[in-house]
Amino acid sequence: MAATKIQANWTAVSFGSTPISRVSQVSFTQGGSLAAYSADGDHFPTVVVNLMNKPRASVTSADAAALMAIAPGETAAFSATHKDAKGEVGGDILYVLANAVAENAETSGVHGQFGSAKLNLLAFSTDGTTNPLSFTRA
Amino acid sequence: MNETIDALILPESLKSGETQLDRIDSILRAAEPLLGVDRPRGGRAYIRRQPGGRLFVTTDPRDTLLFPVGHPREGRPRYRWTALPDGSERGVLVEEARDAR
């Protein structure tokens, strides 16, 4: 069967050598932001430009022990594969956030519901020019 | 003799297709043969979106366009680039880049 070209569920999620299982959510963001310039009598920006991008990722998992063991400041590559919706070969997308720095991990649980933990990551570029967020077909 | 290509810069306008996977595939179809990617052996071409509508494509997600901050060649290109008429560029690692990342 051909790939559905629709993604559902995540697999092969890892932070460096630490595999992360029981994943319920992963997000990657390009982290773009805009700077707006105005001066003198302007009431609206006369120039809006993208000057800085801060790629980020986050992962939510029921494996709280794995995420809570990652200390803030720890640096590694974060990767995750977004699976083809029907599991067809050639339909998975692999994302890699190089130089991902753990910002914070937190865990929570509501009475009568499953507990989970969430890890937030912010990436840096070793040369200041290359985007640390890459993707490919898995 | 054909020189090995270590990196590509492709204009985003080369992307085609309706879905995200189609668009990724349209770039990989062009890039992976040039980069010598062997998928059965685990090889992949990784695509990064760069400012200015450019895609930087290599076989290692840790690759960078320039030498890293703190390196003796900090800020200088890691590749020797050849521009093509279609707007793409083909890069070959400079000698000093083969051991530095």
Q: CB neighbours (10 Å) of residue B74?
A: 13
Contacts of A78 (CB under 8 A, 6+ apart): A14, A15, A57, A59, A96, A97, A100, A121, A123
Q: Is A3 on the interface with B (CB under 8 A)?
A: yes
Whether the Cβ atoms of residue B81 and residue B56 lie closer than 8 Å to each other: no
Nearest to B56 among A3, A94, A130 (CB): A130
Residue spans of the domains in chain A: they are 7-137
At residue A53, the 3 state secondary structure works out as strand
Task: Render pLDDT for A14-47 as a digit per residue (tens, 0 to 9).
Answer: 999 999 999 999 999 999 999 999 999 999 999 9
Q: Tell me the average pLDDT across A56-84.
A: 97
Chain B, 43-82: which have a CB under 8 Å from a chain A CB? 44-51, 56, 61-69, 74-75
| d(C-alpha A80, C-alpha A26), whole Å | 8
Nearest to A127 among B28, B45, B68 (CB): B68
ipTM over 0.90: yes
Q: State the architecture of A7-137 in CATH terms.
A: Beta Barrel (2.40)
Measured in angstroms, the CA of B72 and the nearest CA of chain A are apart by 12
Q: Sort out which chain A residues have CB atoms less than 8 A from B69's CB and list them.
A: 126-128
Measured in angstroms, the CA of A111 and the nearest CA of chain B are apart by 39
B46: closest CA among B31, B58, B33, B29?
B58
Q: Sort out which chain B residues have CB atoms less than 8 A from A94's CB and list them.
A: 44
Q: With left for phi above 0 and alpha for psi between -120 and 50, is residue B54 left, alpha or beta?
A: beta
pLDDT at A106: 98
Question: How large a percentage of chain A has pLDDT more than 70?
Answer: 100
pLDDT at B98: 81
Give yes or no for residue B3 having a pLDDT over 70: no
pLDDT at B35: 97
Give yes or no for residue B100 having a pLDDT over 90: no
Chain centroid to CA A13:
11
Question: How large a percentage of chain A has pLDDT more than 90?
Answer: 93
Q: 0.90 exceeded by the pTM? A: yes
pLDDT at B91: 97
Q: In terms of CA atoms, which chain B residue is nearest residue A133?
A: B48
Q: Is the Cβ pair A130, B50 closer than 8 Å?
A: yes
Contacts of A41 (CB under 8 A, 6+ apart): none
At residue B9, the 3 state secondary structure works out as strand
Q: Is B29 on the interface with A (CB under 8 A)?
A: no
| d(C-alpha B34, C-alpha A126), whole Å | 26
Q: Tell me the average pLDDT across B31-54.
A: 95
pLDDT at B1: 46
Tell me the pLDDT band of B2, cut-offs 50, 70 and 90.
Answer: low
Tell me the pLDDT band of B47, cut-offs 50, 70 and 90.
Answer: very high
